[in-house]
Structure 1
Amino acid sequence: MNDHKKSNAMPRRQFVAFSGAIGAATLLTGTGATESAAATTDPGPGEPTYGSCPTPPPGGGANPCPPAQMQPLCGKPTDDDPLWHDVRYCTNGTVPPPPQPKPDCLRATPNYVVLHGKPENQHNYLLLPSCRITGIECPFLENPASANYWNDAWQNARSGGSVPVQYADIGLGINSQDARHFHQLHIHMAGVRPSTQRRLQELESMGRMATQPAHWADPANQASVSGPPGAGDRTYRILRLPNLTQNLFALLSSNVVVPNGLNMAHQTLIVVPKMTATGFANAFYVLNSDTSLHGGTSTCDYLLVYK
């Protein structure tokens, strides 16, 4: 994480917590933390600058956050997690406890913040909810009231986005509870290898991926994709979507996890925008895996490029 000049701190924000099953609402104070902690050096020559932090968010207000009843699974605002401390600083100016340095807040909105990942470069960023959400296991993510963090990540990472990933092919990913290092939900915004993009397009041409969420878990839509040299192949369930308007967490739960008696906490999700010589091809490959698959994995790190 980078130290930086502190501008006008955004006042402490309260979120109206949504409780779908119970119908009760409580007020939760926004705070936060991340997995790949931000680097501790200033941006190098030629790297983009994004202004000071905290950044006052645009109007429109925040989406609801998990209600108090979900805190055993989704985390409490008082939790001690480095990434959550980073989110709190970016959203309301609460300085992280020493020796944790202040993060470099690249973007702050009512619903999320964007930080550097490690190592710090122009193709390794993190998007984190402004709500206290530990990770993929939080059931509130499947709620229609939850923010669409995947689409938010794409809108930031794409060419022309607020914090664009400077890499030929972009990948977005989230690790399972087992594989992550920090316990504030964070979507990695990084690169993917050209071989990954080619492999996914090859599988699409072979009809080896689902085009409807209901068929996502079918064995015919499971295929191996190579990781970095020497890391071997991993097996993924692959779904092709025309956009990211649907709730990917809800799609994964209802079409893969629940029907197969799996645990949401063990899942990894990866989104790879389809790219051609002319640019983005208006489609997304959505990959899911866990260790219940032969050759499966619970981490997105085999496919994303951080260095």
Structure 2
Amino acid sequence: MNAVGETNGMPRRQFVALSGALGAGALLAGAGAASAATGPSPTPDPCPTGPNPPGGPNPCPPSGLQGLCGSPTDTDPLWQDVQYCTRGIVPPSGQRPTCLKTTPNHVVLHGKPETQHNYLTLPSCRVTGIECPYLVTPNVANYWHEAWENARAGGDVPVQYPNIGLGINSQGARRLNQLHIHMAGVRDSTQRRLQDLEASSRIAGQPSNWGDPQYQVAVTGTQGSGDRTYRVLRLGGLTQNLFALLNDNVVRRFGLNMADQTLIVVPKMTATGFAGTFYVLNSDSSLHDGTNTCDHLLVYG
């Protein structure tokens, strides 16, 4: 693949240079346990009507990145839903979303179809998706940690499914353009396959090895989706910025585009519950039988 690709209108090298200039780093830690297949629906939070809640020292992309990360005046439906939950602005359609959780950094909404194992974690500020270079900087919130804290057993919006998966689609595979991490289920066979691969030393233990050929493996997902090839990494926690890890160790290494990547997180489960580690899967169309969507692995309906 050409090393000088395009990332939403910006040449890849310019994206990398901007990302490096802004920096990348590690943030919050994650822990918890996956949930059982039954349980009550989460109780919606009241939607606040005041201004956006305070965030970190620089919680949103600067105005200079609006061409890549989106403008606050955009009319994307998911972004309008976020503005309703954080600011009380009713969408032009008049349809008010159910705000399951609203914090200074993120909002939780129902996914489609609405089930007890299909939710979304979205930034409370304007971020179109994985192509936004602000995501690889140390200023950005750790949305993956926050999604796990929501989805795990005992979380505020727990995923009612034996095995949990978190995922984000590439720019080309998504329909809506506000960053959203899917919180859904994964099949038991997917969990078993990942543990078998780990036992066979087919999963990278260090981010620097993430893209090595021996860690590019076939995983069967939802029924009828067939085998897809993923680069798989094992992490002891969600303490690091996964977007930055992907950009530094896969995208820049192989001359790829961030916009083309899908990213999936599957907590390792044992008979006693969450094992304390995570499988992080990445793929794109540059791989043989690769994919740019997380939909092959996640169970929504």
**TM-score, shorter chain, exceeding 0.5:** yes
The aligned counterpart of 1:134 is: 128
Partner residue of 2:214 out of 220, 240, 262: 220
The aligned counterpart of 1:5 is: none
CA contact (8 A) 1:155 1:161 kept: yes
1:39-74 CA distances to partner (integer Å, 9 max, x unpaired)? xxxxxx953323432388998744521001111100
When the two chains are superposed, the root-mean-square deviation of aligned CA atoms in Å is: 2.2
Partner residue of 1:235 out of 229, 233, 240: 229
Aligned length: 267
Shift of 1:245: 0.6
* 2:289 is aligned with 1:295: yes
Partner residue of 1:269 out of 254, 259, 263: 263
The aligned counterpart of 1:64 is: 59
What aligned pairs does 1:137-152 form with structure 2 within 5 A after superposition? 137-152=131-146
Q: Which letter does structure 2 place at the counterpart of 1:305?
A: V
Shift of 1:21: 4.7
The aligned counterpart of 1:38 is: none
The aligned counterpart of 1:86 is: 81
CA contact (8 A) 1:216 1:239 kept: yes
Q: Which letter does structure 1 place at the counterpart of 2:59?
A: P
| DSSP 3-state at the match of 2:296 | coil
CA shift in 2, pair 1:78/1:59, >3 Å: closer
Mapped to 2, the partners of 1:58 and 1:182 lie a distance apart of 22
Mapped to 2, the partners of 1:261 and 1:151 lie a distance apart of 27
Q: Which letter does structure 1 place at the counterpart of 2:237?
A: N
Q: Which letter does structure 2 place at the counterpart of 1:238?
A: V
Name structure 2 gaps, 5 residues minimum.
1-18, 23-38
Higher relative contact order (Cα pairs below 8 Å, separated by 6+ residues): 2
1:79-101 CA distances to partner (integer Å, 9 max, x unpaired)? 11000000000000010002x51
Name structure 1 gaps, 5 residues minimum.
1-18, 23-44
The aligned counterpart of 1:74 is: 69
| DSSP 3-state at the match of 1:258 | helix
* 2:197 is aligned with 1:203: yes
1:144-203 CA distances to partner (integer Å, 9 max, x unpaired)? 110000000000100000100000000000000000010000000000000000000000
What is the TM-score when the length of structure 1 is the normalising length? 0.83
| DSSP 3-state at the match of 1:259 | helix
What aligned pairs does 1:170-185 form with structure 2 within 5 A after superposition? 170-185=164-179
CA shift in 2, pair 1:287/1:46, >3 Å: closer
1:205-237 CA distances to partner (integer Å, 9 max, x unpaired)? 000010100000000001000022222100000
CA contact (8 A) 2:45 2:102 kept: no
The aligned counterpart of 2:251 is: 257
Mapped to 1, the partners of 2:103 and 2:202 lie a distance apart of 38
Mapped to 1, the partners of 2:286 and 2:100 lie a distance apart of 37
Decide which moves more: 220-229 or 60-69. Answer: 60-69
The aligned counterpart of 1:32 is: none
Mapped to 2, the partners of 1:292 and 1:56 lie a distance apart of 45
CA contact (8 A) 2:47 2:85 kept: yes
CA shift in 2, pair 1:69/1:60, >3 Å: closer
CA contact (8 A) 1:57 1:110 kept: no
CA contact (8 A) 2:49 2:87 kept: no
CA contact (8 A) 1:57 1:109 kept: no
CA contact (8 A) 1:57 1:108 kept: no
Mapped to 1, the partners of 2:133 and 2:92 lie a distance apart of 29
Mapped to 2, the partners of 1:58 and 1:171 lie a distance apart of 29
CA shift in 2, pair 1:103/1:182, >3 Å: same
**Percent identity of paired positions between Structure 1 and Structure 2:** 69
Mapped to 1, the partners of 2:174 and 2:138 lie a distance apart of 25
* 2:162 is aligned with 1:168: yes
What is the TM-score when the length of structure 2 is the normalising length? 0.85
